[in-house]
Structure 1
Amino acid sequence: MRKRRNHDAGFKARVALKAVKGERTVSELAAEYGVNPTMIHQWMKALPEGASDIFERGGRMQAAEVDEETVRSLHAKIGELAIANDFLSRKLKPWTGK
């Protein structure tokens, strides 16, 4: 049994657009991309519904909301990892010869 895969929005849009344009049949696209034809039909149905969002936003992507607490915790983690990396690289110098 195949593992369940999550495809990103760009992949779904590309495949659905190819199906809508009629470049290939849904079955051919399904075989090429390794997805079920039913999924492609669902993506094709969702395509017109999501297209209206582009025009509502004025064709521009809105900035993602950033949680300041998450940013701070990620910066702290980066600092910890940088310190650990520096420490380990100094301790391994005698064995690596660098």
Structure 2
Amino acid sequence: MKKDHPDLSVRRQCSLLTLARSSLYYQPRGESAENLKFMEIIDRQFLETPWYGSRQMARHLARAGHKCGRHRVRRLMKLMRLVPIYQEPKTSKKHPEHKIYPYLLKDLPITRPNQVWCADISYIPMRRGFLYLVAVMDWHSRKVLSWRLSNSMDARFCVEALKEALAGYGVPEIFNTDSHTIDTSSRMV
């Protein structure tokens, strides 16, 4: 942009560049002294506890006697490009050799117990990582037939939960999970 261009006015230059003329005169204000103080405290604490997100950092500031809400802390952390380090849950990794089964439950009325069971794995965030929860449930009664907790995604805790459900309630006609559905009437599990 040249304010004293001989052929093009400022208005025409802004129009060609698709810029608002007001953006030429904008002077950024920067952060307030209070926010700079908060940013310094956040930076110091983040070096000691890099897993602190905006909620924990806001609690840290409150314990230190500062009035600074979580949304403000989140904005300041984003401005400082501080991203907490934490373990991501690994619940959706499919094995490349696993067979994909047809979906057997489309338009199927579920009218009795042991007709359809389901199993799902979820994670429970903890202070330093995750616990994984698997539950086996009967779709008709919505009863949880068995469940297990584990601190790793090892398949054993899932197999234990399934074995317990099978021992207590017999074999269902259909066993459904996120990854596939198995018709157990044609083969035993």
Structure ranking higher in helix proportion = 1
Report the structure number with the largest CA radius of gyration: 2
TM-score normalized with structure 1 length:
0.29
